[in-house]
Amino acid sequence: MTTTFIRQISRMAFIAAAASLLGGCATSGNPKDPIEGFNRAMFGINEGLDQVIIRPVSSGYEALLPSPLQTGVSNFFSNIADLMIGVNNLLQGKPAQAASDAGRVLVNTTVGFLGILDVASTMGMEKHEEDVGQTFGRWGMGDGAYIVLPFFGPRTVRDTLGLAFDVYTDPVTHVDHVPTRNTLLATRLISNRAELLKADKIIEEAALDKYSYVRDAYLQRRRSLIHDGNPPKEQDESAELEGDNKTADAGESAQPAPAQTAMRQ
Protein backbone atom coordinates (compact mmCIF):
# COMPACT_ATOMS: atom_id res chain seq x y z
CA MET A 1 0.00 0.00 0.00
CA THR A 2 2.71 2.46 0.99
CA THR A 3 4.82 1.70 -2.12
CA THR A 4 1.85 2.24 -4.41
CA PHE A 5 1.02 5.52 -2.69
CA ILE A 6 4.59 6.78 -3.05
CA ARG A 7 4.48 5.98 -6.76
CA GLN A 8 1.31 8.05 -7.07
CA ILE A 9 2.88 10.97 -5.20
CA SER A 10 5.99 10.73 -7.39
CA ARG A 11 3.82 10.95 -10.50
CA MET A 12 2.14 14.06 -9.09
CA ALA A 13 5.53 15.61 -8.42
CA PHE A 14 6.64 14.84 -11.97
CA ILE A 15 3.52 16.48 -13.38
CA ALA A 16 4.08 19.55 -11.21
CA ALA A 17 7.73 19.76 -12.27
CA ALA A 18 6.77 19.49 -15.93
CA ALA A 19 4.16 22.18 -15.45
CA SER A 20 6.72 24.50 -13.90
CA LEU A 21 8.95 24.07 -16.97
CA LEU A 22 6.01 25.00 -19.16
CA GLY A 23 5.10 27.93 -16.92
CA GLY A 24 5.92 30.42 -19.67
CA CYS A 25 2.87 29.20 -21.58
CA ALA A 26 0.54 29.63 -18.60
CA THR A 27 -1.74 32.58 -17.97
CA SER A 28 -1.20 32.78 -14.21
CA GLY A 29 -0.02 36.15 -12.93
CA ASN A 30 1.94 34.50 -10.11
CA PRO A 31 5.26 32.99 -11.22
CA LYS A 32 5.10 30.53 -8.32
CA ASP A 33 1.74 29.22 -9.54
CA PRO A 34 2.21 28.40 -13.25
CA ILE A 35 -0.66 25.89 -13.33
CA GLU A 36 -3.20 28.06 -11.54
CA GLY A 37 -6.10 26.87 -13.70
CA PHE A 38 -5.56 23.25 -12.70
CA ASN A 39 -4.89 24.21 -9.10
CA ARG A 40 -8.08 26.23 -8.79
CA ALA A 41 -10.10 23.32 -10.16
CA MET A 42 -8.49 20.87 -7.73
CA PHE A 43 -8.92 23.37 -4.89
CA GLY A 44 -12.64 23.46 -5.65
CA ILE A 45 -12.86 19.67 -5.62
CA ASN A 46 -11.04 19.46 -2.29
CA GLU A 47 -13.27 22.19 -0.85
CA GLY A 48 -16.36 20.28 -1.93
CA LEU A 49 -15.09 17.08 -0.33
CA ASP A 50 -14.32 18.98 2.85
CA GLN A 51 -17.72 20.66 3.04
CA VAL A 52 -19.70 17.51 2.31
CA ILE A 53 -17.79 14.94 4.37
CA ILE A 54 -14.73 15.99 6.36
CA ARG A 55 -15.92 19.23 7.93
CA PRO A 56 -19.31 17.86 9.11
CA VAL A 57 -17.66 14.81 10.65
CA SER A 58 -15.01 16.96 12.32
CA SER A 59 -17.67 19.35 13.62
CA GLY A 60 -19.53 16.42 15.16
CA TYR A 61 -16.29 15.15 16.66
CA GLU A 62 -15.64 18.54 18.25
CA ALA A 63 -19.20 18.86 19.52
CA LEU A 64 -19.55 15.38 20.99
CA LEU A 65 -16.10 14.53 22.32
CA PRO A 66 -15.10 16.27 25.57
CA SER A 67 -12.24 18.72 25.18
CA PRO A 68 -9.79 16.73 27.38
CA LEU A 69 -10.31 13.67 25.19
CA GLN A 70 -9.76 15.72 22.03
CA THR A 71 -6.52 17.00 23.52
CA GLY A 72 -5.47 13.46 24.39
CA VAL A 73 -6.10 12.24 20.84
CA SER A 74 -4.16 15.18 19.40
CA ASN A 75 -1.28 14.58 21.82
CA PHE A 76 -1.17 10.88 20.92
CA PHE A 77 -0.63 11.55 17.23
CA SER A 78 1.71 14.44 17.98
CA ASN A 79 3.89 12.06 19.97
CA ILE A 80 4.08 9.69 17.01
CA ALA A 81 5.05 12.59 14.75
CA ASP A 82 7.89 13.59 17.10
CA LEU A 83 9.79 10.47 16.02
CA MET A 84 10.41 11.69 12.46
CA ILE A 85 10.53 15.33 13.54
CA GLY A 86 13.64 14.40 15.50
CA VAL A 87 15.14 12.62 12.50
CA ASN A 88 14.51 15.65 10.29
CA ASN A 89 16.05 17.99 12.84
CA LEU A 90 19.13 15.77 12.85
CA LEU A 91 19.28 15.78 9.04
CA GLN A 92 19.01 19.57 9.11
CA GLY A 93 22.05 19.84 11.35
CA LYS A 94 20.17 20.69 14.54
CA PRO A 95 21.30 18.03 17.06
CA ALA A 96 20.04 19.91 20.11
CA GLN A 97 16.51 20.03 18.73
CA ALA A 98 16.76 16.39 17.67
CA ALA A 99 17.80 15.39 21.19
CA SER A 100 14.87 17.36 22.60
CA ASP A 101 12.50 15.57 20.22
CA ALA A 102 13.86 12.19 21.31
CA GLY A 103 13.40 13.24 24.92
CA ARG A 104 9.81 14.25 24.21
CA VAL A 105 9.04 10.83 22.75
CA LEU A 106 10.66 9.03 25.69
CA VAL A 107 8.90 11.10 28.35
CA ASN A 108 5.47 11.27 26.71
CA THR A 109 5.42 7.60 25.71
CA THR A 110 6.20 6.48 29.27
CA VAL A 111 5.05 9.06 31.80
CA GLY A 112 2.49 10.49 29.38
CA PHE A 113 0.73 7.17 28.74
CA LEU A 114 1.68 6.68 25.06
CA GLY A 115 1.63 10.41 24.46
CA ILE A 116 -1.93 11.06 25.59
CA LEU A 117 -0.50 13.50 28.13
CA ASP A 118 2.08 16.03 26.91
CA VAL A 119 4.28 15.87 29.99
CA ALA A 120 7.37 16.87 28.01
CA SER A 121 6.04 20.36 27.28
CA THR A 122 5.47 20.98 30.97
CA MET A 123 9.12 20.00 31.50
CA GLY A 124 10.30 22.63 29.03
CA MET A 125 10.87 20.37 26.01
CA GLU A 126 9.72 22.48 23.09
CA LYS A 127 7.45 20.99 20.42
CA HIS A 128 8.97 21.36 16.93
CA GLU A 129 7.42 21.07 13.49
CA GLU A 130 9.65 19.53 10.83
CA ASP A 131 9.15 17.31 7.79
CA VAL A 132 11.12 16.05 4.81
CA GLY A 133 10.00 18.94 2.62
CA GLN A 134 11.56 21.35 5.12
CA THR A 135 14.71 19.24 5.22
CA PHE A 136 14.99 19.45 1.43
CA GLY A 137 14.53 23.21 1.73
CA ARG A 138 17.30 23.47 4.32
CA TRP A 139 19.53 21.53 1.96
CA GLY A 140 18.98 24.18 -0.70
CA MET A 141 16.30 22.60 -2.88
CA GLY A 142 14.01 25.20 -4.43
CA ASP A 143 10.25 25.24 -3.98
CA GLY A 144 9.34 24.35 -7.55
CA ALA A 145 5.84 24.99 -8.81
CA TYR A 146 2.93 25.39 -6.42
CA ILE A 147 0.43 22.57 -6.85
CA VAL A 148 -2.83 21.56 -5.19
CA LEU A 149 -2.90 17.79 -4.72
CA PRO A 150 -6.11 15.76 -4.57
CA PHE A 151 -7.11 15.37 -0.92
CA PHE A 152 -3.73 16.56 0.45
CA GLY A 153 -4.23 20.13 -0.70
CA PRO A 154 -1.51 22.81 -1.09
CA ARG A 155 2.03 21.66 -1.83
CA THR A 156 5.03 22.59 -3.93
CA VAL A 157 7.04 20.20 -6.08
CA ARG A 158 9.61 19.96 -3.30
CA ASP A 159 6.97 19.37 -0.63
CA THR A 160 5.25 16.76 -2.80
CA LEU A 161 8.50 14.81 -2.97
CA GLY A 162 8.86 15.27 0.77
CA LEU A 163 5.32 14.02 1.29
CA ALA A 164 6.23 10.68 -0.30
CA PHE A 165 9.02 10.22 2.25
CA ASP A 166 6.80 11.45 5.09
CA VAL A 167 4.17 8.85 4.25
CA TYR A 168 6.73 6.08 3.88
CA THR A 169 8.28 6.85 7.28
CA ASP A 170 4.96 7.43 9.06
CA PRO A 171 4.62 4.68 11.72
CA VAL A 172 0.83 4.67 11.33
CA THR A 173 1.03 3.61 7.67
CA HIS A 174 3.11 0.58 8.70
CA VAL A 175 0.49 -0.88 11.05
CA ASP A 176 -0.15 -4.35 9.61
CA HIS A 177 -3.73 -4.73 10.81
CA VAL A 178 -5.67 -2.90 8.10
CA PRO A 179 -8.78 -1.97 10.15
CA THR A 180 -6.58 -0.58 12.93
CA ARG A 181 -4.43 1.34 10.47
CA ASN A 182 -7.43 2.84 8.70
CA THR A 183 -9.05 3.77 12.01
CA LEU A 184 -5.89 5.54 13.13
CA LEU A 185 -5.56 7.41 9.82
CA ALA A 186 -9.20 8.50 9.87
CA THR A 187 -9.05 9.56 13.52
CA ARG A 188 -5.92 11.62 12.90
CA LEU A 189 -7.51 13.30 9.90
CA ILE A 190 -10.64 14.20 11.87
CA SER A 191 -8.63 15.41 14.86
CA ASN A 192 -6.42 17.61 12.70
CA ARG A 193 -9.41 19.04 10.84
CA ALA A 194 -11.28 19.74 14.07
CA GLU A 195 -8.37 21.85 15.28
CA LEU A 196 -8.75 24.04 12.18
CA LEU A 197 -12.50 24.64 12.44
CA LYS A 198 -12.06 27.97 14.22
CA ALA A 199 -9.83 29.19 11.40
CA ASP A 200 -12.58 28.62 8.81
CA LYS A 201 -14.56 31.69 9.79
CA ILE A 202 -11.44 33.86 9.86
CA ILE A 203 -10.49 32.79 6.35
CA GLU A 204 -14.00 33.25 5.00
CA GLU A 205 -14.18 36.77 6.42
CA ALA A 206 -10.66 37.84 5.47
CA ALA A 207 -10.34 36.39 1.99
CA LEU A 208 -11.84 38.01 -1.09
CA ASP A 209 -10.30 35.16 -3.08
CA LYS A 210 -9.99 32.10 -0.86
CA TYR A 211 -7.76 30.24 -3.29
CA SER A 212 -5.17 33.03 -3.43
CA TYR A 213 -5.40 33.53 0.34
CA VAL A 214 -4.70 29.86 1.06
CA ARG A 215 -1.93 29.67 -1.54
CA ASP A 216 -0.09 32.74 -0.27
CA ALA A 217 -0.53 31.71 3.37
CA TYR A 218 0.83 28.24 2.61
CA LEU A 219 3.90 29.52 0.78
CA GLN A 220 4.59 32.09 3.50
CA ARG A 221 4.24 29.55 6.28
CA ARG A 222 6.47 27.00 4.58
CA ARG A 223 9.16 29.60 4.00
CA SER A 224 8.98 30.59 7.66
CA LEU A 225 9.17 26.97 8.85
CA ILE A 226 12.18 26.18 6.67
CA HIS A 227 14.07 29.12 8.17
CA ASP A 228 12.81 28.52 11.72
CA GLY A 229 10.77 31.73 11.76
CA ASN A 230 13.55 33.96 10.38
CA PRO A 231 13.26 33.84 6.58
CA PRO A 232 15.67 35.94 4.50
CA LYS A 233 14.46 38.68 2.22
CA GLU A 234 12.82 37.36 -0.90
CA GLN A 235 13.17 38.94 -4.31
CA ASP A 236 9.91 39.78 -6.07
CA GLU A 237 10.17 37.69 -9.23
CA SER A 238 7.34 39.48 -11.04
CA ALA A 239 8.93 42.87 -10.32
CA GLU A 240 12.26 41.53 -11.51
CA LEU A 241 10.72 40.32 -14.76
CA GLU A 242 9.01 43.65 -15.33
CA GLY A 243 12.26 45.48 -14.65
CA ASP A 244 14.13 43.24 -17.08
CA ASN A 245 11.61 43.97 -19.83
CA LYS A 246 11.85 47.73 -19.28
CA THR A 247 15.63 47.81 -19.35
CA ALA A 248 15.71 45.57 -22.40
CA ASP A 249 13.40 47.97 -24.24
CA ALA A 250 15.64 50.87 -23.26
CA GLY A 251 18.72 49.07 -24.56
CA GLU A 252 20.27 48.85 -21.10
CA SER A 253 21.51 45.86 -19.17
CA ALA A 254 18.89 44.38 -16.88
CA GLN A 255 19.24 45.07 -13.16
CA PRO A 256 17.76 42.90 -10.39
CA ALA A 257 14.54 44.13 -8.84
CA PRO A 258 14.59 45.37 -5.24
CA ALA A 259 14.14 42.65 -2.66
CA GLN A 260 11.02 42.64 -0.56
CA THR A 261 10.76 41.53 3.02
CA ALA A 262 8.95 38.21 3.17
CA MET A 263 5.99 38.35 5.51
CA ARG A 264 6.19 34.84 6.87
CA GLN A 265 4.35 33.73 9.98
In order, the DSSP letters of 29-44 are: S-TT-TTHHHHHHHHH
In a domain, 234, yes or no: no
In a domain, 156, yes or no: yes
28-76 per-position pLDDT tens digit: 578 999 999 999 999 999 999 999 999 999 999 999 999 999 999 999 9
In a domain, 65, yes or no: yes
Q: What is the pTM of this model?
A: 0.80
Rounded mean pLDDT, 148-169: 98
In a domain, 207, yes or no: no
> Cα–Cα distances in Å, from 90 out to 23, 87, 206?
35, 5, 38
User: Which of these, 112, 72, 104, lies nearest to 85 by C-alpha position?
Assistant: 104
Relative orientation angle of helices 67-91 and 157-169, to the nearest 10 degrees:
110
Count of alpha carbons within 13 angstroms of residue 241, beta-carbon side: 8
pLDDT at 258: 38
As for how many domains the chain has, the answer is 1
Per-residue DSSP letters for 72-122? Answer: HHHHHHHHHHHHHHHHHHHHTT-HHHHHHHHHHHHHHHHTTTTTTS-HHHH
User: Which of these, 117, 122, 111, 120, lies nearest to 75 by C-alpha position?
Assistant: 117
Relative orientation angle of helices 210-226 and 197-206, to the nearest 10 degrees:
120
The whole-chain average pLDDT of the chain stands at 86
In a domain, 32, yes or no: yes
Provide, rounded to the nearest whole percent, the portion of the chain with pLDDT above 70: 78
In a domain, 151, yes or no: yes
Q: Please give the angle made by the CA atoms of 203, 42 and 179, to the nearest 5 degrees.
A: 90
Q: How far, in whole angstroms, is CA 257 from its chain's centroid?
A: 29
DSSP 177: S
Provide the 3-class DSSP secondary structure of residue 242: helix
Give the confidence band of 106 by pLDDT, cuts at 50, 70, 90: very high
215-253 per-position pLDDT tens digit: 999 999 999 999 999 998 876 544 444 444 444 444 443
Q: Which domain holds residue 21?
A: 2-196
pLDDT at 205: 86
In a domain, 56, yes or no: yes
In a domain, 244, yes or no: no
Give the span between the Cα atoms of 244 and 96, in whole angstroms. 44
